[in-house]
């Protein structure tokens, strides 16, 4: 059975801190790994990673995939209160298998 | 460009009843996937529709069924509702050319 594990489950930081979220996976037919941000309802797409070692960046967010270690990290630098959300990791093996998410709380 | 839309936004049902949830995909997308997200958990894959056929199915009982229409919109039907069916139901659309799935706002179902 496909398995996606995220850590930590939750964390609290102060504005300006850097956050690193982890995702590890075991799936049968890996196609890509995706990161989503969920604030209230709809998860919003952040990154899709298919190749190992290539960093994807968007502003203060970045992510990298390690296919050898079957893992990925999502970094958020200079955190702001608007970064408070649940961050979901999903692996696409012709369907999306999600982890339980990491709840990030950024305090002013 | 309208994103993925879902209706209704909220729904309250009682045990044993049946419910139908609706989803319209993002413009240009032909594939619709449904997910169930219980409180405190990540979304769980229910099934995926492409060309009006169920292409793949997750580990959900037959009480969960769906349909895709020629305009690519989709319905999720749940029969004989159980208390444990209370969750946020998310629809996501994608295309075979661009695989990234984009999610709708979800329907929050409460079964009493």
Q: How many residues are there in chain B?
A: 112
| pLDDT at residue B1, as a whole number | 62
How far is the CA of A95 from the CAs of A31, A68, A90, B46, B68, in angstroms?
10, 21, 9, 9, 17
**Closest CB to B33 among A31, A41, A95:** A95
pLDDT digit string (tens) for B32-88? 999 999 998 999 999 999 999 999 999 999 999 999 999 999 999 999 999 999 999
pLDDT digit string (tens) for A7-36? 999 999 999 999 999 999 998 888 899 999
pLDDT digit string (tens) for A49-77? 997 878 899 999 999 999 999 999 999 99
Contact A107, A12 (CB under 8 A): yes
**Closest CB to B56 among A41, A94, A98:** A94
B91 burial via Cβ count (<10 Å: 0-12, 13-18, 19+): buried
| pLDDT at residue B47, as a whole number | 96
Tell me whether A92 touches chain B (CB under 8 Å): yes
Contact B89, B34 (CB under 8 A): yes
pLDDT mean over B2-9? 93
Any idea what DSSP says for residue A2? -
């Amino acid at each position: 059975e496909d398995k996606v594990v995220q850590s930590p489950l939750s964390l609290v930081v102060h504005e300006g801190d850097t956050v690193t979220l982890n995702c590890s996976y075991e799936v049968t037919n890996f196609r890509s790994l995706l990161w989503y941000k969920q604030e209230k309802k709809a998860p919003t797409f952040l990154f899709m990673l298919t190749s190992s070692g290539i960093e994807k960046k968007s502003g203060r967010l970045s992510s990298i995939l390690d296919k050898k270690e079957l893992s990925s990290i999502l970094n958020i630098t200079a955190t702001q209160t608007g970064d408070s959300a649940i961050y979901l990791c999903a692996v696409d093996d012709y369907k999306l298998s999600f982890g339980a998410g990491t709840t990030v709380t950024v305090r002013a | 460009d309208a994103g993925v839309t879902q209706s209704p936004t909220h729904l309250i049902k009682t045990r044993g009843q049946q419910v139908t949830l609706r989803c319209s995909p993002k413009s240009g997308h032909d594939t619709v996937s449904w997910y169930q997200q219980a409180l405190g958990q990540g979304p769980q894959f229910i099934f995926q529709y492409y060309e009006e056929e169920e292409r793949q199915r997750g580990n959900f009982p037959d009480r969960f069924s769906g349909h895709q229409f020629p305009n690519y919109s989709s319905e999720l039907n749940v029969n004989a509702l159980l208390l444990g069916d209370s969750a946020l139901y998310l629809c996501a659309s994608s295309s075979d050319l661009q695989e990234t799935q984009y999610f709708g706002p979800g329907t929050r179902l409460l079964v009493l």
